[in-house]
Structure 1
Amino acid sequence: MALQHVIGLDHVVVSVRDLDTAASAWRALGFTISPRGTHSPHMGSANYTIMFGEDYMELLGVLAPTEHNAAMREWLAEQEGIERAAFTALDAAAGVAELQAMGVAAIGPIAFGRPVELPDGRMAEARFNVMRWPVGLRPGGLRIFACQHLTRENVWVPSLLRHANGATRILRLEMLTADPRAAAAEMGGLIAQSPRQEADGAWALPTGPNRADLVFLDRAILAARHPGVPLEGLPQEGAAALVLGTSDLAAAARALGVAPGATVAVPAARATGVLLRFLPG
């Protein structure tokens, strides 16, 4: 049975060493970037967001060392890229209780917020309750948590949803791992979903209706899925590729500077450690 209080992929966290440089890199790929936000002091971090219809990307950087960002700082010492993924929590406290009843030592809820500059110049606050799975549980190298949005209107701002590359949603997040079946099964046990094997041997795990799949695969399958895209800079184990839907594939190709007829994608070197691919959707 699927979780009742966690309903699907909410956003992916792209952890970076230089937040403003990362924002410039993603802006150059045709994304509309939110104004910079600074989290509550106990979080010790700041972010930019890239918003879609029901989900989004978060570019996250450390401002000051805190207990909360210790795992992120350890990870950033080795790499940049998608360090974790968040699911949408309808009720973070109930979600923690639900996972604990399954035998998962969930943590939370943890409350925090960040100021938001609205298009008309007014300042508002985005507030959240988050719940976490234990940090040591990283199927396919991916850390997970869930986020309850208390002020969605201050996050999904209409002017932030339009992108020059036509991006509309996250279709799938692809993780490199030596044993895709085992990693998918482990993740499935943490979110009460059943993985399915795809035709090319990858294992896909649905996260919820109309939300992105998590896909676990090896390097050979990843290369076959993204022909002509260099794989340098990707981890041996961990989140490697982000596949986005676009309402205009030609616009996405122009934004990325990709030749007509080629795979509409860029290597990790252009997207802070993430192989980025667009498909119609």
Structure 2
Amino acid sequence: MGQTAAMVRLLDHLVLPTADLDTARTRLNQLGFTVAPRGIHPFGTGNCCVYFADGTFIEPLVVVDECAAEVAVKSGNVFVARDRSYRQAFGTEGFSAVAFAGDNADDEHRAYVEAGISAGDRLDFSRPFIDAAGRSDTASFRLAFAALPDVEGTYVFTCQRVNSPKVDRSALEQHENGTTRICEIIAVSDDPAGTAGFLRLSAGYDLSGTSDGAVPDLPNARLRVLTSGQYAEKTGLAPRGHGVLSFEAVAFCVRDIDALRRGLVSRGIDHDIREGQVVVAPAPGQGTTFIFQESA
């Protein structure tokens, strides 16, 4: 693809399929997150996002209109089709996709096609956005998709924000648990070197001179590929996915790890302490492992 380090993409957001948005909202509130009002896509899916001050977010995603989703899949909508295949392979709770910030979806789609990793046609869409005070605007996006061959559901995409909502999101970016940003995304693979190569390529890194399982840091987060054994050692949990690529955990930076843990204890949230980090296993409404670590 010929990209240089200067063209490496920022993390934009993470897609977390869930069975029910009310359950997701309740669980995320219990974990100390502020959850945005429900958003609806024009192709049968909806979300209730958690936003962070650096512009990144997590997107719990649910199918709200099966008929609209079916029409979208038949029309070639990759976003809905990959969500469906993920749920068929792994169930209704999980971590299906990493989205990078895009600059030009046409160029990014073309690059993915040339690299042999395109997951399908580019997608344009718009949806209403409402902030915590009820002010509304329209958000418009252009997406380009990439995936490894024969990997069910799990994928990455670039997200070009054609029109960003002109609404105040600051209240939604403040979280009782002290989370400030996403620190790290953890993937598990039985082919770490191959998977890391795909992630480097999709994130905009030049592959020349690389052959190991390392993924250089994104400008605003770390992306790590582990084996099943390494993941179990780090978290005390078995990975939920299998094969070449499954996204398994999200690590968040918090201001005060002791305060976060007290909050979890007060709400009866099971957790583990491993190497100074707090690990919360997946649960309904929280489809993937959450890891909290202290950061100034």
Task: Give TM-score scaled by structure 2 length.
Answer: 0.79
How many percent identity over aligned positions? Answer: 27
**Alpha-carbon separation, structure 1, partners of 2:47 and 2:285:** 16
Please tell me whether the aligned partners of residues 272 and 279 of structure 2 are also in contact (alpha carbons under 8 angstroms). no
SS class of match (2:12)? strand
Match of 1:223 among 232, 246, 261: 232
Please tell me whether the aligned partners of residues 156 and 202 of structure 2 are also in contact (alpha carbons under 8 angstroms). no
SS class of match (1:61)? strand
SS class of match (2:190)? coil
2:231 equivalent to 1:250: no
2:27 equivalent to 1:21: no
Residue in 2 that maps onto 1:188: 200
2:59 equivalent to 1:58: yes
Q: Cα offset for 1:130?
A: 1.1
State the number of aligned residues. 269
SS class of match (1:181)? helix
**Alpha-carbon separation, structure 2, partners of 1:5 and 1:107:** 22
Match of 1:86 among 99, 104, 118: 99
Q: Cα offset for 1:129?
A: 1.2
**Alpha-carbon separation, structure 1, partners of 2:173 and 2:283:** 25
**Residue ranges of structure 2 left out of the alignment (5+ in a row):** 266-270
Residue in 1 that maps onto 2:287: 273
**Alpha-carbon separation, structure 2, partners of 1:71 and 1:184:** 21
Please tell me whether the aligned partners of residues 130 and 145 of structure 1 are also in contact (alpha carbons under 8 angstroms). yes
Q: Which structure has greater strand proportion?
A: 1
Deviates more, 1:29-38 or 1:156-165: 156-165
SS class of match (2:215)? strand
Residue in 2 that maps onto 1:122: 135
Letter in 1 for 2:47: N
- RMSD over aligned CA atoms reads 2.9
2:227 equivalent to 1:214: no
Distance 1:206 1:271, change over 3 A: farther
Q: For 1:130-209, list aligned pairs within 5 A.
A: 130-133=143-146, 136=149, 138=151, 142-154=154-166, 157-193=169-205, 203-206=213-216, 208-209=218-219
**Alpha-carbon separation, structure 2, partners of 1:254 and 1:246:** 13
Task: Give TM-score scaled by structure 1 length.
Answer: 0.83
**Alpha-carbon separation, structure 1, partners of 2:147 and 2:232:** 31
**Alpha-carbon separation, structure 2, partners of 1:94 and 1:273:** 32
Please tell me whether the aligned partners of residues 118 and 154 of structure 1 are also in contact (alpha carbons under 8 angstroms). no
Q: Cα offset for 1:104?
A: 4.6
Residue in 2 that maps onto 1:200: none
Distance 1:268 1:16, change over 3 A: same
**Residue ranges of structure 1 left out of the alignment (5+ in a row):** 198-202
Distance 1:242 1:29, change over 3 A: same
Q: Cα offset for 1:112?
A: 1.0
Residue in 1 that maps onto 2:268: none
**Alpha-carbon separation, structure 1, partners of 2:101 and 2:231:** 27
2:241 equivalent to 1:235: yes
Q: Cα offset for 1:101?
A: 4.6
**Alpha-carbon separation, structure 2, partners of 1:93 and 1:272:** 33
Letter in 2 for 1:127: S
Q: Cα offset for 1:164?
A: 0.9
**Alpha-carbon separation, structure 1, partners of 2:57 and 2:167:** 10
**Alpha-carbon separation, structure 1, partners of 2:165 and 2:172:** 12
Please tell me whether the aligned partners of residues 242 and 276 of structure 1 are also in contact (alpha carbons under 8 angstroms). yes
> For 1:197-255, what per-residue CA distance to the aligned partner results, in whole angstroms no more than 9, with x for missing partners?
6xxxxx4413532x2222111122112223xx4x2572234111111111222232123
SS class of match (1:178)? coil
**Alpha-carbon separation, structure 2, partners of 1:188 and 1:170:** 19
**Alpha-carbon separation, structure 2, partners of 1:259 and 1:106:** 37
